[in-house]
Chains A and B, each alone.
Chain A
């Protein structure tokens, strides 16, 4: 099969989360892979993409349309490439950008779409994804070609599969349109790492007590290379912005490590973070529900445990640099 991958970049680098998607698409060399991207500097990405099984790097340029200002036009340019290359499937990351573009493409093509998947079998056209906010899993068959699938970040570990990738410039003509325009980007909060794609997350609940106190989590996050999250109780109390909320009505996250500090472990919180590989819970109450569905538990006060963890990580790092 010919499988397209919607490749995302950040700061001109291929996002690491793409590699798991490529591994899922590759199925050990069973398919011909086309990485679709909107950059001229494909050479910079050739090494990493071809080492994971990408056979073609398609660099799309859409003359006459400002695709960076319109996800609608960007989706149209991608559809142009998919049609010209006659792709059987399109895979991407279920990030906020990926979800939006994949859904636009699927809707425009009237194609079957499954987002936020935790598994995919491209040859069989089946996916596994959560249902009822993570309370159950479901297997779906996507009927028809092309089918479109977005994978949750970090759920599939990347496996190298070296091939040689060709760079294929692709020109597409699309009609400009101004009915939807991204006017600007705006910095709303100061968190640096995207929660949805973070490999490590540390988050706090209601007992954090104030916005200022989040500093103890941020300090620890810096040592861990982690993103900082919050429960709804912490958000609703005004200690953290909505963008940091994890759970049912917040973000769904799937890091390798999730450290929950002073979070009781409601079903609605689990709905957003149960896809984490390892969950560590820090809570004063030994009966807190969070302990019943975590990997490691520390019974203790987050105001003592988190700074101690930060110090230990600092020490570990300095001993690594001066062996």
Chain B
């Protein structure tokens, strides 16, 4: 089984984002693997363990520094990595999708591609679909349960109101992982050491024939969200506070 996993380097979810100019932010931050991509790596490793053969290759498009998340995935157990370097942090989804497609297609022939369901920085929610269109493979995103048997993949996806769709897909296919799918494994020191010597291939995005600036989603400006101030604290006994609250929500906010 030839398995590819797309992972992205993103700012730590706890970090605060300081804007620097219209389209830039202060990148002196802690960066981590996109949390949803950890579920993708874990599932890929489990499939390899289940089938007992094949290879798990992690692929990322990012800065040189994105090597760190590739090393993390290698320490989790992936076999090798591909880093497509692009000198731009908030790269357009169409360009990213194309670069991932070309990098994977020139490397091998995938039986399964795992991604996360969304990047927590750009919140594009579309790369797995763009890959699926490029490879002409079926895709299911936001997967919380995955089963592979007899060359058929069976997944579950939450659709709200406590309902799940149970979906069958033929291989090769693309799966977007979300929380609930599995518990990603921790990396231990020996594996982290071993990961340092695993193969990591670097390719410049321009070598893939993808012009990073030729996207179709042009970032015009980043701007801070209007801040909600400190809460107005309600006073008095519990019944008094509740009375005041229902009054405010009914009359002032017109919600109740």
Q: How far is the CA of A47 from the CA of B102 in the complex (A)?
A: 49
Instruction: Show the binding face of A for B, using Cβ within 8 Å.
Output: 72, 95-97, 99-100, 103-104, 106-108, 110-116, 126, 129-144, 178-197, 200, 224, 242-243, 245, 248-250, 256-257, 266-268, 271, 274, 277-281, 286, 290-300, 304-305, 308-309, 312-313, 316
With a cutoff of 8 Å between Cβ atoms, the chain A residues found around residue B246 in the complex are 309, 312-313, 316
A248: contacting residue among B13, B223, B233, CB under 8 A: B13
Contact A180 B163 (CB under 8 A): no
With a cutoff of 8 Å between Cβ atoms, the chain B residues found around residue A185 in the complex are 159, 163-166
Q: How far is the CA of A267 from the CA of B16 in the complex (A)?
A: 9
A291: contacting residue among B167, B223, B231, CB under 8 A: B231
For the residues of A in contact with B, the DSSP-based class is mixed
For the residues of B in contact with A, the DSSP-based class is mixed
A107-B129, A140-B217, A308-B239 known; A296 and B232 CB under 8 Å? yes
Contact A192 B162 (CB under 8 A): yes
Contact A182 B165 (CB under 8 A): yes
Contact B180 A298 (CB under 8 A): no
Q: Name the interface residues of B230-244: CB closer than 8 Å to any CB of A.
A: 230-234, 238-239, 241-243
Contact B133 A280 (CB under 8 A): no
B234: contacting residue among A126, A134, A298, CB under 8 A: A298
With a cutoff of 8 Å between Cβ atoms, the chain A residues found around residue B14 in the complex are 266-268
Contact B166 A278 (CB under 8 A): no
Contact A186 B138 (CB under 8 A): no
Shortest distance between the CB of A278 and any CB in chain B (Å): 5
- Centre residue among B162, B163, B167 by max chain A CB count within 10 A: B162
Contact A189 B141 (CB under 8 A): no
With a cutoff of 8 Å between Cβ atoms, the chain B residues found around residue A193 in the complex are 161
Contact B222 A187 (CB under 8 A): no
Contact A107 B121 (CB under 8 A): no
